């Protein structure tokens, strides 16, 4: 069975083909990425992908950055509304599954190898074990902030779909309070995504400039990160605030889900900020959990550096969903 798998965010749409049989196989040469703004719909983008490769699809799994309800999903940070029947019509198959993008990131955990992750902090990860009961969290910034979880029970994987990135931000330091006040004046309610995402880094830079009484430059998140590495003090403070907020949220997620086996840091910004995340700010905030600080200190935090983890997870979901059809 040849399955089209897709990872659709607020900015880009990724596609690939996977083969199901004795386990799934993601066809790396088939991976394509398109700007979402270049297509009227996800169905149009999927059809373009198949036509470009001269491929056909027996089934499809779309991992989308938004809430999935029944057979529909709306991208949180993009105007696309995705309907499974529309995808099926475009591809010529009734087998279409829609899942949250961080459900796909969660499913990818079961397929990641040692070279696909980098430890953030001293706590080590013994590796994935399908035969043991395990609970993992996954969180990651891109255009937005994705949050999910993975339960491993009785030899099966169960992904948890959430919109945890839209939970309210909880400051834990005096400087965080000042940043929160700046963001509240701008947005009213301040979600975690307002800080830990690509736009969130720009929000933090603007807040730092406001606190220091200087005009913010019109810099993109990539420029802010580059200027931080080049020694700009305000950009460096913005990146430090980003890493601390990210660490605090990741630690809170461990407590919320009981994810004592590990938290995976996914999303497009993680590889770009890996050096900053490996500094003290992330891990200190991650472990600063009061009476549970010692317990959280033992939890591994693992940065995902696999280039196509969302597609890998979508293929894993396809295997769980469609493998039984191969026996028919």
Domain range list for the chain? 1-112+306-327, 164-304
CA distance 198 to 200: 5
Question: Two tokens at 10?
Answer: 């607020």
Is 8 annotated as a binding-site member?
yes
pLDDT of residue 328: 38
Residue 327, pLDDT above cutoff 60: no
248 in a labelled binding site: no
Q: Say whether 281 counts as a known binding-site residue.
A: no
DSSP codes of every residue in 192-225 = GGGTSSHHHHHHHHHHHHHHHT-PPP---HHHHH
Q: Do domains 1-112+306-327 and 164-304 have the same CATH topology?
A: no
Return the SS3 of 236: helix
Please tell me whether 110 is known to bind a ligand: no
- Asked if residue 6 belongs to a known ligand binding site, the reply is yes
pLDDT tens-place string over residues 269-313: 999 999 999 999 999 999 999 999 999 999 999 999 999 999 999
3-state secondary structure of 255: helix
Residues 210-247: pLDDT tens digits?
Answer: 999 999 999 999 999 999 999 999 999 999 999 999 99
pTM over 0.85: yes
Kindly report the CATH number that applies to the domain delimited by 1-112+306-327: 3.30.420.40
Residue 79 is predicted with a pLDDT of: 87
Of 159, 151, 103, the closest CA to residue 130 belongs to 151
- What is the share, in percent, of the chain residues with pLDDT greater than 90? 81
The upper half-sphere exposure of residue 42, i.e. CA atoms within 13 Å in the direction of its Cβ, equals 35
Q: Which CATH number fits domain 164-304: 3.40.367.20, 3.60.15.10, 3.40.50.970, 2.60.300.12?
A: 3.40.367.20
Q: What does the pLDDT read at residue 317?
A: 93
Query: What pLDDT is recorded for position 9?
Result: 87
Tokens, residue 51:
């036509």
Q: Is the pLDDT of residue 22 over 80?
A: no
Distance between CA atoms of 224 and 239, rounded to whole angstroms?
8
Inter-axis angle of helices 101-108 and 309-326, to 10 degrees? 80
- Which one-letter DSSP state was computed for residue 77? T
CA distance 209 to 314: 40
Q: How far apart are alpha carbons 3 and 93 in whole angstroms?
A: 10
The answer to whether the annotation marks 268 as part of a ligand binding site is no
């Amino acid at each position: 069975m040849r399955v089209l798998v897709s990872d659709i965010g607020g900015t880009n749409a990724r596609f690939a083909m996977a083969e199901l049989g004795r386990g799934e196989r993601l066809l790396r040469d088939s991976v394509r990425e398109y700007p979402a703004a270049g297509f009227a719909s996800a169905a149009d983008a999927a059809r373009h992908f198949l036509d470009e490769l001269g491929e056909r699809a027996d089934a499809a799994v779309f991992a989308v950055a938004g809430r999935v309800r029944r057979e529909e999903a709306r991208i949180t940070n993009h105007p696309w509304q995705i309907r499974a029947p529309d995808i099926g019509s475009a591809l010529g198959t009734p087998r279409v599954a829609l899942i949250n993008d961080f459900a796909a990131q969660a499913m990818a955990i079961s397929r990641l190898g040692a070279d696909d992750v980098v430890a953030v902090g001293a706590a080590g990860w013994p590796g994935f074990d399908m035969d043991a009961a395990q609970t993992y969290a996954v969180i990651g910034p891109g255009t937005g902030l994705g949050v999910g979880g993975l339960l491993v029970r009785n030899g099966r994987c169960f992904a948890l779909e959430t919109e945890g990135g839209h939970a309210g931000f909880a400051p834990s330091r005096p400087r965080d309070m000042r940043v929160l006040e700046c963001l509240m004046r701008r947005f009213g309610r301040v979600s975690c995504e307002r800080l830990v995402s690509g736009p969130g880094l720009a929000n933090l830079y603007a807040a730092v400039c406001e606190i220091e009484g200087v005009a913010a430059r019109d810099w993109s998140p990539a420029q802010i990160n580059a200027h931080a590495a080049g020694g700009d003090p305000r950009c460096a403070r913005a990146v430090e605030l980003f890493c601390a907020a990210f660490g605090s949220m990741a630690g809170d997620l461990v407590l919320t889900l009981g994810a004592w086996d590990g938290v995976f840091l996914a999303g497009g910004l993680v590889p770009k900020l890996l050096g900053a995340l490996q500094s003290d700010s992330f891990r200190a905030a991650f472990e600063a959990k009061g009476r549970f600080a010692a317990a959280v200190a033992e939890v591994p935090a693992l940065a995902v550096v696999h280039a196509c983890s969302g597609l890998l997870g979508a293929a894993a979901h396809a295997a769980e969903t469609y493998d039984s059809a191969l026996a028919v």
